Amino acid sequence: MAKTELNVRERFERRRVIGAGGMGTVWEALDRATGQNVALKVLTHLGPLEIYLFKNEFRSLADVTHPNLVGLHGLFNVDDEWFLSMDLVKGVSLLSWLWGPEIFEALCGEGSDTSLLSTRLGRGSDLAPPPPARGASHGNR
């Protein structure tokens, strides 16, 4: 393995998983180069389409800056591992914030992350309201 690859791999100290989705896993990590805690998204499905989408995600947002948006720091590839680093935002998941911690923990279990929702509730169909009656508009329920 080349020295630069070792430096990239050793740059981030992965501490804990903070989320998972269709493309990858997001870790809280220490960026040893800056001394900052960051979010490190690691691509877990390595097909050509997934790599293209991962690169496109970074490229389309890399130059977007705003105080209310997460900043992207870097896109990295070492051997067959792809990851990007971004600002780490401390807080609770959107679902926990919307539902409240009691409902969230009842659905997912105490200390769980949102990745369990896909296994416990399917793809969200249980969360959606029923469709309106035929011929009725949303305001007529």
Predicted confidence at residue 125, as pLDDT, reads 45
Mode of pairing for the β-strands spanning 36-43 and 24-31? antiparallel
Highest mean pLDDT, choosing among 93-97, 116-120, 136-140: 93-97
Predicted confidence at residue 14, as pLDDT, reads 93
- Taking domain 3-87, whether its CATH number is 3.40.47.10 is answered by no
> Binning pLDDT at 50, 70 and 90, where does residue 69 land?
confident
**Domain range summary for the chain, segments of one domain joined by +:** 3-87, 91-127
Write down the mean pLDDT value for the chain. 76
Interval 104-118 mean pLDDT: 58
- 46 pLDDT above the threshold of 80: yes
- Contacts of 86 by beta carbon, 8 Å cutoff, 6+ apart: 38, 39, 40, 41, 70, 71, 72, 73
- 81 pLDDT above the threshold of 70: yes
Total Cβ atoms within 10 A of residue 78 = 15
Predicted confidence at residue 47, as pLDDT, reads 85
With beta carbons less than 8 A apart as the criterion, state whether 33 and 4 touch. no
